[in-house]
Amino acid sequence: MAEIVFLGSGGGRFQMVGQYFKTGGFRIHTGVNVHVDPGPGALLLTHQYGLNPLELDGIVVTHSHPDHYTDAEVLIEAMTKHSTKKRGALVCSESVINGVGDYGPAVSKYHQRKPEKLAILNPGEKFRLNNLEMEAVKAKHSDPTTFGLILRTDEGTIGYTSDTQYFEGIAKYYEGVRILIANVTRPLSMRIPWHLCSDDLIKMLTEIKPELVVMIHMGMMFLKHEPKMEAARITSETNVETIPGQVGLRVNMGKEIKINRPIRQPVLEEFARLKLEIFSGAE
């Protein structure tokens, strides 16, 4: 059984500061435990949703934007048992480790040395952690070293777009995935540079047919365009089951895919709706 636990479904500068949908990334548990893109709140949400940061075996940071990396160092300290044991793997884009142009480095040299393994992935390169194989795939984002991720488990493949804009051929990287985790920053066709909007996802889903799509990294416009309604629209236009991510959402991938929503809606998501009137249109 492979399990994905979502620790947020928000992204972009405004959601990151507002924390309406949270920005802790997600964890995958499949014999090994890996935290992907631990943005602000990742450590706190790990505890709040009953997970143990000391049980991590790997941390992936796909690029040097703070909604994806801020909690990486504290999770490295957890993964290495409070920095007392050289263990686990840190898997990153080039910018996160060395800095590229104006981006990164996002993890200090001190923390880069703590894990047992450090891997910088470029598109097409793979890294194996026991029975989990990770492959970086092309993304087109403002940090030029950003990668999307293919996660191959014994139960099947999971795709994660990370932050990218739509480009010709993007869908083929995700061919055959059972679950697609899509960073959809804007609803409808409200496209902005470097990011996907819902209609870009619809275009991808004309070429690939995962069993389930989970939308995350949703920006401020999703406070106006209810994520559930957008997901329903995508489902009806593509015949691919699409759901909005949500902090605490668990998806289990065995023979079948099972969706377990958290029992209680986080208070802040309700609060977010009340703030619609003062919101004036940023991503």
Do residues 61 and 67 touch, judged by C-beta distance below 8 A?
no
Dump the DSSP string for 150-206: EEEETTEEEEE--S----TTGGGGGTT-SEEEEEEEESTT---TTSEEHHHHHHHTT
Nearer to Zn ion, 74 or 192 (CB): 192
Minimum distance from residue 69 beta carbon to Zn ion (Å): 10
Does residue 283 belong to the site contacting Zn ion (CB under 5 A)? no
- Return the number of the residue (94 or 163) whose C-beta is nearest Zn ion: 163
Minimum distance from CB of 153 to Zn ion (Å)? 25
Q: Which of 177, 184, 167 is nearest to 219 (CA)?
A: 184
- Convert residues 41-70 into a mask of x (bound to Zn ion by CB under 5 A) and - (unbound): ------------------------x-----
* Contacts (Cβ under 8 Å, ≥6 apart) of 241: 211, 212, 213, 235
Closer of 22 and 152 to Zn ion (Cβ): 22
Query: Residue 195, interface with Zn ion (CB under 5 A)?
Result: no
Shortest distance (Å) from residue 168 CB to Zn ion: 21
Strand order in the sheet with 89-92: 117-120, 89-92, 58-61, 33-36, 23-29, 2-8, 250-253, 257-260
103 vs 174 by CB, closer to Zn ion: 103
Among 163, 199, 230, 283, contact with Zn ion (rule: CB under 5 A): 163
CB of 52 to Zn ion, least distance (A): 28
Measured CA to CA, the distance from residue 72 to residue 185 in angstroms comes to 22
Nearest approach in angstroms of CB 163 to Zn ion is 4
Nearer to Zn ion, 94 or 155 (CB): 94
- Site residues (vs Zn ion, CB under 5 A): 65, 163
